[in-house]
Amino acid sequence: MTANEAATDNVLTLEKLADEVRHLKGQVVLMHDTEMAALIGVGMDEDDLYYIGQPLKKDQKPIWYSAVGACCGLKPYLPEAQYERIERTWQFANLLAEDFVMLAQLESKEAVPYDPEVHNAQRLAISKRRYEEAVARAAKSRE
């Protein structure tokens, strides 16, 4: 393994995040140690990666929770009957996901299904542009 491969191996990507939590799809999880939600999938924007969860509010849109925080499945930690009661609450409201989604929302546009070739290139271009803008601002402030 080259030094560059080793460096990128430690970088969390949307694909790696999806692999870490895909087994929790449709389960009720604890987001950021404080909020219960049914895991729908993962997403990315130009700044961060996210777990996408559906809170127990029928009219509420799914929430994007930063992947900096934890997403912990409740099922292994609760007595089976207790977890099943919690899960049934989401089932009765029809809020459990059937499919695992991977979404990208770049430059404040609407979230769309993730395409690794397109969205990783867009994210890199946004990062490069932001870096160049920051360098230009720093140079201007030294004038």
pLDDT at 44: 95
- Please give the helix or strand (H or E) that residue 7 lies within, else none: helix 3-9
* Domains identified in the chain, total number: 1
pLDDT at 5: 53
Give the model confidence (pLDDT) of 15-24 as tens digits.
999 999 999 9
Mean pLDDT of the chain: 89
pTM of this prediction?
A: 0.84
Structural domain containing residue 9: 3-141
Over 49-115, what HEC string results?
EEEEEECCCCCCCCEEEECCCCEEECCCCCCHHHHHHHHHHHHHCCCCCCCCEEEECCCCCCCEECC
Longest CA span, the chain:
68
